Amino acid sequence: MIDIDGTFSYSKTLPVRLNNNFTNALLYPNPTTGPLNIKLTDAVKTNTTLVVTDVAGRIVQKQAVKKGMFSINLVVNTLTPGRYFVSINDAQQVIRQSFVVIK
C-alpha cells in the first residue's frame, strides 16, 4: 500500500485455496453464425433452464436443460449480431459465459 506522502508498507500475505468443484463450459464455435455447442465438464445436477440474455440484460431465449446433460446445442441463428450471455443455474452454481453472434 502506498500512502499520500509516498511511504509504503506491505500487507500480510495470505494463502488462497480455490474451490475446483465448479463446472466449466466450453462454447464453440465462438463467434458463431449458426448453432452454438455447449460442452460442460460435469453433468447438470438438476432439471433447469438455460437462459440467453443480450448485453442490456433482456432475456432473448430460454431452453430446458435436463439432469445429466453434458452437451447442449443452442440455435442462435435467429439472433441479431452481437454479444450475448448464456446462463445455466444449476442446484449448486450458476454457469455464465459470453458468446458472439456474427452474420
Q: What is the pLDDT of residues 15-33, one digit of tens each?
A: 766 555 556 889 999 999 9
The tens digit of pLDDT for each residue in 20-77 reads: 555 688 999 999 998 999 998 888 888 999 999 999 999 999 999 998 899 999 999 8
Contact (CB, 8 A) for 12 and 3: no
Domains of the chain by residue range: 25-101
Per-residue cell: 40: 460442460
Q: CA triplet 91, 96, 102: central angle to 5 degrees?
A: 145
Contact (CB, 8 A) for 86 and 63: no
Contact (CB, 8 A) for 18 and 60: no
Over residues 85-93, mean pLDDT: 85
| Topology of the domain covering 25-101 | Immunoglobulin-like (2.60.40)
